[in-house]
Amino acid sequence: MESPVGSRMLVDGRRVDYYCGTSYYSLHGDPRVIDAACAAIRRYGLGPATVMNTPPLLEVVERAGAFFGTQSATYIVSGYLADMVLVQALSDDYDVVFVDERSHYSVFDGLVVGEKPVVRFRHKDANDLSVKLADNVKAGQIPLVLSDGVFPTTGAIAPLRDYVETLSPYDDALLCVDDSHAIGVIGEEGKGTFEYLGLRGPNLYLVGTLSKAVGGVGGIVPGSHGLMEKIRQHSRVPIGASPPSAAAAAAAATGLRILSEHPEMRKQLWSNVARVRGGLRKLGIDVEASPVPIISIQSTPGLDVKRLFQELDKRDIVVAYVAARGYSDAPNVESVRIAVFSTHTESQIDRLLESIGAFL
Ligand SMILES: Cc1ncc(COP(=O)(O)O)c(C=O)c1O
Protein backbone atom coordinates (compact mmCIF):
# COMPACT_ATOMS: atom_id res chain seq x y z
CA MET A 1 0.00 0.00 0.00
CA GLU A 2 1.79 3.11 -1.24
CA SER A 3 -0.74 5.89 -0.65
CA PRO A 4 -3.10 6.93 2.13
CA VAL A 5 -6.04 4.56 2.58
CA GLY A 6 -8.99 5.45 0.39
CA SER A 7 -11.41 4.17 -2.21
CA ARG A 8 -8.73 4.79 -4.88
CA MET A 9 -5.26 3.75 -3.84
CA LEU A 10 -1.80 3.07 -5.11
CA VAL A 11 -1.05 -0.60 -4.47
CA ASP A 12 2.13 -2.19 -5.89
CA GLY A 13 2.47 0.75 -8.25
CA ARG A 14 -1.07 0.31 -9.62
CA ARG A 15 -4.02 2.66 -9.16
CA VAL A 16 -6.79 0.41 -7.85
CA ASP A 17 -10.34 0.53 -6.52
CA TYR A 18 -9.78 -0.46 -2.90
CA TYR A 19 -12.33 -2.51 -0.93
CA CYS A 20 -10.20 -3.82 1.97
CA GLY A 21 -9.56 -2.98 5.59
CA THR A 22 -11.68 -0.88 7.88
CA SER A 23 -11.38 2.83 7.04
CA TYR A 24 -15.07 2.96 6.22
CA TYR A 25 -15.02 6.75 5.60
CA SER A 26 -11.44 6.86 4.25
CA LEU A 27 -10.70 9.22 7.14
CA HIS A 28 -7.16 7.88 7.54
CA GLY A 29 -6.40 9.47 4.18
CA ASP A 30 -8.48 12.61 4.73
CA PRO A 31 -6.37 15.80 4.47
CA ARG A 32 -8.03 17.28 7.60
CA VAL A 33 -7.02 14.23 9.64
CA ILE A 34 -3.51 14.09 8.20
CA ASP A 35 -2.97 17.84 8.78
CA ALA A 36 -4.15 17.55 12.40
CA ALA A 37 -1.75 14.65 13.00
CA CYS A 38 1.21 16.53 11.47
CA ALA A 39 0.44 19.72 13.43
CA ALA A 40 0.19 17.74 16.69
CA ILE A 41 3.62 16.17 16.17
CA ARG A 42 5.18 19.55 15.46
CA ARG A 43 3.59 21.08 18.54
CA TYR A 44 3.80 18.25 21.08
CA GLY A 45 6.42 15.86 19.68
CA LEU A 46 5.75 12.27 18.66
CA GLY A 47 4.64 10.82 21.98
CA PRO A 48 4.05 12.09 25.52
CA ALA A 49 6.62 9.64 27.02
CA THR A 50 4.22 7.60 29.11
CA VAL A 51 2.20 10.48 30.61
CA MET A 52 -1.40 10.94 29.42
CA ASN A 53 -1.74 14.72 29.73
CA THR A 54 -1.14 16.34 26.35
CA PRO A 55 -4.07 18.29 24.84
CA PRO A 56 -4.73 15.92 21.87
CA LEU A 57 -5.09 12.96 24.25
CA LEU A 58 -7.42 14.88 26.54
CA GLU A 59 -9.40 16.06 23.52
CA VAL A 60 -10.01 12.44 22.46
CA VAL A 61 -11.37 11.62 25.93
CA GLU A 62 -13.70 14.60 25.82
CA ARG A 63 -14.87 14.04 22.25
CA ALA A 64 -15.35 10.30 22.79
CA GLY A 65 -17.53 10.96 25.85
CA ALA A 66 -19.63 13.39 23.80
CA PHE A 67 -19.79 11.00 20.84
CA PHE A 68 -20.99 8.03 22.89
CA GLY A 69 -23.12 10.11 25.26
CA THR A 70 -21.17 8.88 28.28
CA GLN A 71 -19.63 10.84 31.15
CA SER A 72 -16.10 10.01 30.07
CA ALA A 73 -13.85 7.53 28.27
CA THR A 74 -10.46 5.88 28.60
CA TYR A 75 -8.21 6.15 25.55
CA ILE A 76 -5.43 3.59 25.15
CA VAL A 77 -2.82 2.67 22.60
CA SER A 78 -4.80 -0.04 20.84
CA GLY A 79 -8.32 -1.36 20.46
CA TYR A 80 -6.86 -4.81 20.98
CA LEU A 81 -6.21 -3.95 24.62
CA ALA A 82 -9.61 -2.36 25.22
CA ASP A 83 -11.25 -5.71 26.01
CA MET A 84 -8.56 -6.39 28.60
CA VAL A 85 -9.06 -2.97 30.19
CA LEU A 86 -12.78 -3.57 30.58
CA VAL A 87 -12.45 -7.14 31.86
CA GLN A 88 -10.01 -5.99 34.54
CA ALA A 89 -12.12 -2.96 35.44
CA LEU A 90 -15.19 -5.13 36.05
CA SER A 91 -13.29 -7.86 37.91
CA ASP A 92 -15.30 -7.45 41.13
CA ASP A 93 -18.64 -7.43 39.27
CA TYR A 94 -18.95 -10.93 37.76
CA ASP A 95 -18.19 -14.58 38.54
CA VAL A 96 -18.40 -16.53 35.26
CA VAL A 97 -17.75 -15.44 31.68
CA PHE A 98 -19.70 -16.59 28.61
CA VAL A 99 -18.07 -15.79 25.31
CA ASP A 100 -19.17 -16.24 21.69
CA GLU A 101 -16.77 -18.88 20.35
CA ARG A 102 -15.96 -16.73 17.30
CA SER A 103 -15.23 -13.52 19.16
CA HIS A 104 -12.18 -11.55 18.15
CA TYR A 105 -8.73 -12.62 19.36
CA SER A 106 -8.63 -9.49 21.52
CA VAL A 107 -11.70 -10.66 23.44
CA PHE A 108 -10.11 -14.03 24.28
CA ASP A 109 -6.72 -12.49 25.10
CA GLY A 110 -8.46 -9.89 27.27
CA LEU A 111 -10.17 -12.66 29.19
CA VAL A 112 -6.89 -14.25 30.21
CA VAL A 113 -6.37 -11.48 32.78
CA GLY A 114 -9.87 -12.01 34.20
CA GLU A 115 -8.90 -15.12 36.19
CA LYS A 116 -12.54 -16.31 36.23
CA PRO A 117 -14.07 -19.42 34.62
CA VAL A 118 -14.74 -18.98 30.91
CA VAL A 119 -17.48 -20.86 29.01
CA ARG A 120 -17.77 -20.64 25.22
CA PHE A 121 -21.18 -20.61 23.55
CA ARG A 122 -21.99 -21.29 19.90
CA HIS A 123 -21.53 -18.40 17.50
CA LYS A 124 -24.50 -15.97 17.63
CA ASP A 125 -26.60 -18.62 19.36
CA ALA A 126 -28.75 -17.28 22.21
CA ASN A 127 -30.26 -20.73 22.79
CA ASP A 128 -26.86 -22.24 23.40
CA LEU A 129 -26.03 -19.30 25.67
CA SER A 130 -29.18 -20.03 27.62
CA VAL A 131 -28.21 -23.70 28.08
CA LYS A 132 -24.64 -22.78 29.08
CA LEU A 133 -25.89 -20.21 31.59
CA ALA A 134 -28.26 -22.73 33.17
CA ASP A 135 -25.45 -25.30 33.44
CA ASN A 136 -22.74 -23.01 34.80
CA VAL A 137 -24.16 -20.17 36.88
CA LYS A 138 -24.59 -21.20 40.51
CA ALA A 139 -27.04 -19.45 42.85
CA GLY A 140 -25.88 -15.94 43.66
CA GLN A 141 -23.30 -15.84 40.85
CA ILE A 142 -23.23 -13.09 38.24
CA PRO A 143 -22.57 -13.89 34.57
CA LEU A 144 -20.68 -11.67 32.12
CA VAL A 145 -21.40 -12.23 28.41
CA LEU A 146 -18.85 -11.11 25.82
CA SER A 147 -19.07 -10.96 22.03
CA ASP A 148 -18.10 -8.85 19.06
CA GLY A 149 -20.93 -6.43 18.22
CA VAL A 150 -20.19 -6.65 14.48
CA PHE A 151 -17.96 -9.52 13.38
CA PRO A 152 -14.92 -8.43 11.35
CA THR A 153 -14.91 -10.94 8.50
CA THR A 154 -18.57 -11.75 7.92
CA GLY A 155 -20.09 -8.43 9.00
CA ALA A 156 -22.69 -10.34 11.03
CA ILE A 157 -24.38 -8.45 13.85
CA ALA A 158 -24.50 -10.27 17.20
CA PRO A 159 -28.10 -10.97 18.35
CA LEU A 160 -27.71 -8.75 21.40
CA ARG A 161 -31.45 -8.31 21.95
CA ASP A 162 -31.75 -12.08 22.38
CA TYR A 163 -28.78 -12.08 24.76
CA VAL A 164 -30.39 -9.35 26.89
CA GLU A 165 -33.57 -11.40 27.09
CA THR A 166 -31.64 -14.57 27.87
CA LEU A 167 -29.84 -12.76 30.69
CA SER A 168 -33.01 -11.28 32.21
CA PRO A 169 -33.42 -14.00 34.91
CA TYR A 170 -29.84 -13.35 36.14
CA ASP A 171 -29.62 -10.38 38.51
CA ASP A 172 -26.86 -7.88 37.70
CA ALA A 173 -25.74 -9.84 34.59
CA LEU A 174 -23.33 -7.89 32.37
CA LEU A 175 -23.22 -7.77 28.56
CA CYS A 176 -20.05 -6.40 26.96
CA VAL A 177 -19.32 -6.03 23.25
CA ASP A 178 -16.20 -5.37 21.27
CA ASP A 179 -17.74 -2.87 18.89
CA SER A 180 -14.62 -2.07 16.90
CA HIS A 181 -16.37 -2.46 13.53
CA ALA A 182 -19.61 -0.76 14.59
CA ILE A 183 -18.31 2.46 16.15
CA GLY A 184 -19.08 5.38 13.86
CA VAL A 185 -20.83 3.02 11.47
CA ILE A 186 -24.18 1.70 12.71
CA GLY A 187 -26.84 3.25 14.91
CA GLU A 188 -28.58 6.53 14.12
CA GLU A 189 -25.68 8.51 15.62
CA GLY A 190 -23.00 5.94 14.85
CA LYS A 191 -22.70 4.82 18.46
CA GLY A 192 -22.61 1.16 17.52
CA THR A 193 -24.51 -2.07 17.91
CA PHE A 194 -26.42 -1.28 21.12
CA GLU A 195 -27.74 1.93 19.57
CA TYR A 196 -28.57 0.12 16.30
CA LEU A 197 -30.58 -2.50 18.19
CA GLY A 198 -32.26 0.06 20.48
CA LEU A 199 -30.64 -1.31 23.65
CA ARG A 200 -29.77 0.83 26.68
CA GLY A 201 -28.97 0.07 30.27
CA PRO A 202 -26.37 0.33 33.02
CA ASN A 203 -25.14 -3.25 32.53
CA LEU A 204 -24.35 -2.89 28.83
CA TYR A 205 -20.73 -2.03 28.05
CA LEU A 206 -18.94 -1.45 24.80
CA VAL A 207 -15.29 -1.12 23.94
CA GLY A 208 -13.72 -0.56 20.59
CA THR A 209 -11.18 1.13 18.45
CA LEU A 210 -10.66 4.56 16.93
CA SER A 211 -8.35 2.90 14.38
CA LYS A 212 -11.10 1.96 11.93
CA ALA A 213 -14.08 4.15 10.94
CA VAL A 214 -12.85 7.10 13.01
CA GLY A 215 -9.60 7.40 11.08
CA GLY A 216 -7.18 7.57 14.02
CA VAL A 217 -5.33 4.97 16.05
CA GLY A 218 -6.07 3.65 19.54
CA GLY A 219 -8.64 1.88 21.70
CA ILE A 220 -11.55 3.42 23.55
CA VAL A 221 -13.60 2.42 26.59
CA PRO A 222 -16.49 4.88 26.98
CA GLY A 223 -18.48 4.91 30.21
CA SER A 224 -19.53 6.54 33.45
CA HIS A 225 -17.23 8.18 36.02
CA GLY A 226 -17.85 5.03 38.07
CA LEU A 227 -16.42 2.83 35.31
CA MET A 228 -13.43 5.17 34.89
CA GLU A 229 -12.74 4.81 38.62
CA LYS A 230 -12.86 1.01 38.30
CA ILE A 231 -10.43 1.26 35.37
CA ARG A 232 -8.09 3.37 37.51
CA GLN A 233 -8.29 0.83 40.32
CA HIS A 234 -8.03 -2.44 38.40
CA SER A 235 -6.81 -1.98 34.80
CA ARG A 236 -3.09 -2.06 34.28
CA VAL A 237 -2.88 -1.01 30.60
CA PRO A 238 -3.69 2.71 31.10
CA ILE A 239 -0.98 3.11 33.73
CA GLY A 240 1.49 0.51 32.45
CA ALA A 241 1.54 1.31 28.73
CA SER A 242 2.36 4.53 26.92
CA PRO A 243 -0.73 6.23 25.53
CA PRO A 244 -1.25 6.73 21.78
CA SER A 245 1.07 9.21 20.05
CA ALA A 246 0.06 12.86 19.73
CA ALA A 247 -0.42 12.24 16.00
CA ALA A 248 -2.74 9.29 16.59
CA ALA A 249 -4.72 11.26 19.16
CA ALA A 250 -5.06 14.36 16.99
CA ALA A 251 -6.19 12.16 14.10
CA ALA A 252 -8.74 10.38 16.30
CA ALA A 253 -10.07 13.66 17.77
CA THR A 254 -10.43 15.12 14.28
CA GLY A 255 -12.15 11.97 13.01
CA LEU A 256 -14.60 12.05 15.91
CA ARG A 257 -15.30 15.74 15.24
CA ILE A 258 -15.88 15.14 11.52
CA LEU A 259 -18.21 12.19 12.15
CA SER A 260 -20.20 14.17 14.73
CA GLU A 261 -20.53 17.22 12.50
CA HIS A 262 -21.37 15.31 9.32
CA PRO A 263 -24.11 12.73 9.86
CA GLU A 264 -24.61 12.75 6.08
CA MET A 265 -21.39 10.71 5.82
CA ARG A 266 -23.13 7.85 7.61
CA LYS A 267 -26.12 8.15 5.28
CA GLN A 268 -23.76 8.02 2.30
CA LEU A 269 -22.04 4.93 3.70
CA TRP A 270 -25.37 3.15 4.28
CA SER A 271 -26.52 4.09 0.78
CA ASN A 272 -23.30 2.68 -0.74
CA VAL A 273 -23.70 -0.47 1.35
CA ALA A 274 -27.30 -0.87 0.15
CA ARG A 275 -26.15 -0.42 -3.47
CA VAL A 276 -23.53 -3.17 -3.14
CA ARG A 277 -25.74 -5.56 -1.16
CA GLY A 278 -28.73 -4.99 -3.47
CA GLY A 279 -26.55 -5.44 -6.56
CA LEU A 280 -25.10 -8.70 -5.25
CA ARG A 281 -28.58 -10.03 -4.51
CA LYS A 282 -29.60 -9.24 -8.11
CA LEU A 283 -26.62 -11.34 -9.19
CA GLY A 284 -28.00 -14.22 -7.13
CA ILE A 285 -25.52 -13.93 -4.25
CA ASP A 286 -27.16 -14.45 -0.89
CA VAL A 287 -26.36 -11.36 1.23
CA GLU A 288 -28.48 -9.92 4.01
CA ALA A 289 -29.97 -6.43 3.99
CA SER A 290 -27.85 -4.71 6.66
CA PRO A 291 -26.09 -1.35 7.03
CA VAL A 292 -22.80 -3.06 7.91
CA PRO A 293 -20.12 -2.19 5.32
CA ILE A 294 -18.47 -5.61 5.56
CA ILE A 295 -19.82 -8.03 2.98
CA SER A 296 -18.76 -11.65 2.84
CA ILE A 297 -19.11 -13.77 -0.30
CA GLN A 298 -18.58 -17.38 0.62
CA SER A 299 -17.40 -20.22 -1.54
CA THR A 300 -20.10 -22.60 -2.76
CA PRO A 301 -19.83 -25.61 -5.12
CA GLY A 302 -20.48 -23.30 -8.12
CA LEU A 303 -18.45 -20.31 -6.92
CA ASP A 304 -14.66 -20.34 -6.54
CA VAL A 305 -14.00 -17.20 -4.51
CA LYS A 306 -10.23 -17.39 -4.88
CA ARG A 307 -10.67 -17.12 -8.64
CA LEU A 308 -13.16 -14.28 -8.14
CA PHE A 309 -10.55 -12.46 -6.04
CA GLN A 310 -7.93 -13.01 -8.79
CA GLU A 311 -10.25 -11.91 -11.61
CA LEU A 312 -11.18 -8.71 -9.73
CA ASP A 313 -7.51 -8.05 -9.10
CA LYS A 314 -6.81 -8.27 -12.86
CA ARG A 315 -9.34 -5.44 -13.26
CA ASP A 316 -7.54 -3.40 -10.57
CA ILE A 317 -10.27 -4.01 -8.02
CA VAL A 318 -8.80 -5.13 -4.71
CA VAL A 319 -10.90 -7.10 -2.22
CA ALA A 320 -9.69 -9.39 0.58
CA TYR A 321 -9.43 -13.14 0.18
CA VAL A 322 -9.97 -14.96 3.50
CA ALA A 323 -8.93 -18.60 3.92
CA ALA A 324 -11.37 -21.00 5.61
CA ARG A 325 -11.14 -20.18 9.36
CA GLY A 326 -8.39 -17.70 8.45
CA TYR A 327 -9.51 -15.10 11.00
CA SER A 328 -11.30 -15.10 14.34
CA ASP A 329 -14.81 -15.27 12.85
CA ALA A 330 -13.94 -16.43 9.33
CA PRO A 331 -16.38 -18.98 7.89
CA ASN A 332 -15.50 -22.67 7.57
CA VAL A 333 -15.12 -22.17 3.82
CA GLU A 334 -13.02 -19.71 1.79
CA SER A 335 -14.55 -16.26 1.37
CA VAL A 336 -14.03 -12.86 -0.12
CA ARG A 337 -14.49 -9.84 2.16
CA ILE A 338 -15.63 -6.61 0.56
CA ALA A 339 -15.31 -3.43 2.66
CA VAL A 340 -17.55 -0.65 1.39
CA PHE A 341 -16.54 2.97 2.04
CA SER A 342 -18.62 6.15 2.01
CA THR A 343 -16.11 7.46 -0.55
CA HIS A 344 -16.73 4.78 -3.17
CA THR A 345 -18.50 6.42 -6.10
CA GLU A 346 -21.57 4.97 -7.78
CA SER A 347 -19.53 4.22 -10.88
CA GLN A 348 -16.88 2.40 -8.81
CA ILE A 349 -19.59 0.29 -7.19
CA ASP A 350 -21.26 -0.42 -10.52
CA ARG A 351 -17.90 -1.51 -11.96
CA LEU A 352 -17.40 -3.84 -8.98
CA LEU A 353 -20.84 -5.39 -9.48
CA GLU A 354 -20.45 -5.66 -13.22
CA SER A 355 -17.04 -7.33 -12.74
CA ILE A 356 -18.47 -9.83 -10.27
CA GLY A 357 -21.39 -10.44 -12.67
CA ALA A 358 -18.95 -11.05 -15.55
CA PHE A 359 -17.14 -13.67 -13.46
CA LEU A 360 -20.22 -15.61 -12.39
C1 LIG B 1 -13.21 -6.91 16.63
C2 LIG B 1 -11.87 -6.26 16.76
N3 LIG B 1 -11.46 -5.85 17.98
C4 LIG B 1 -10.27 -5.26 18.16
C5 LIG B 1 -9.41 -5.04 17.09
C6 LIG B 1 -8.09 -4.37 17.33
O7 LIG B 1 -8.16 -2.97 17.22
P8 LIG B 1 -6.80 -2.12 17.05
O9 LIG B 1 -6.38 -2.32 15.64
O10 LIG B 1 -7.16 -0.71 17.38
O11 LIG B 1 -5.80 -2.68 18.00
C12 LIG B 1 -9.78 -5.45 15.82
C13 LIG B 1 -8.83 -5.21 14.71
O14 LIG B 1 -8.90 -5.55 13.61
C15 LIG B 1 -11.04 -6.07 15.64
O16 LIG B 1 -11.44 -6.50 14.43
Reported as a single tens digit per residue, the pLDDT across 267-324 is 999 999 999 999 999 999 999 999 999 999 999 999 999 999 999 999 999 999 999 9
pLDDT value, residue 324 = 98
What's the pLDDT score for residue 330?
A: 98
pLDDT of residue 254: 98
Q: Which residues line ligand 1 (CB under 6 A)?
A: 78-80, 104, 106, 148, 152, 178, 180-181, 209, 211, 219
Average confidence (pLDDT) per 10 residues, the chain, 360 residues: 96 97 97 97 85 89 98 97 98 98 98 93 98 97 98 98 98 98 98 98 97 98 98 96 95 98 98 98 96 97 96 98 98 98 98 97
Q: Residue 196 contacts by C-beta under 8 Å, 6 or more apart in sequence?
A: 157, 182, 186, 187, 291
Q: Identify the pLDDT of residue 355.
A: 98
Q: Whose CA is nearest to atom 16 of ligand 1?
A: 152
Q: Phi and psi dihedrals of 282, rounded to 5?
A: -60, -30
If phi > 0 it is left, if psi is from -120 to 50 it is alpha, else beta; for residue 81 that is alpha
Mutate which of 28, 76, 80, 84 for ligand 1? The one with the most ligand atoms within 8 Å of its CB, which is 80
Query: What pLDDT score does 53 carry?
Result: 84
Tell me the best of 60, 100, 154, 180 to mutate to test the pocket of ligand 1, counting ligand atoms within 8 Å of each CB and taking the most: 180
Q: What is the pLDDT of residue 92?
A: 96
Please report which helix (H) or strand (E) contains residue 252, including its range.
helix 246-261
- The mean pLDDT value of the chain amounts to 97
User: What's the CA-to-centroid distance between 301 and ligand 1, angstroms?
Assistant: 32
Among residues 93, 62, 97, which one has the least CA distance to residue 231?
93
Residue 179 CA, ligand 1 centroid: distance in Å: 9
CA–CA gap between residue 328 and residue 153 (Å, rounded):
8
Residue nearest to atom 14 of ligand 1 (CA): 152
Q: How far is the CA of 344 from the centre of ligand 1 (A)?
A: 23
Max Cα–Cα distance, the chain, nearest Å: 62
pLDDT single digits (tens) 22-52: 999 999 999 999 999 999 999 999 877 777 7
Compute, in angstroms, the gap from residue 273 CA to the centroid of ligand 1.
21
- CA–centroid distance, 327 to ligand 1, in Å, is 12
> Cα of 269 to ligand 1 centre, how many Å?
20
pLDDT of residue 282: 98
For residue 47, the model assigns a pLDDT of: 77
Helix (H) or strand (E) holding 19: none
Distance 152 CA to ligand 1 centre (A): 9
**pLDDT tens by residue, 240-255:** 999 999 999 999 999 9
Task: For ligand 1, atom 7, name the residue with the nearest CA.
Answer: 79
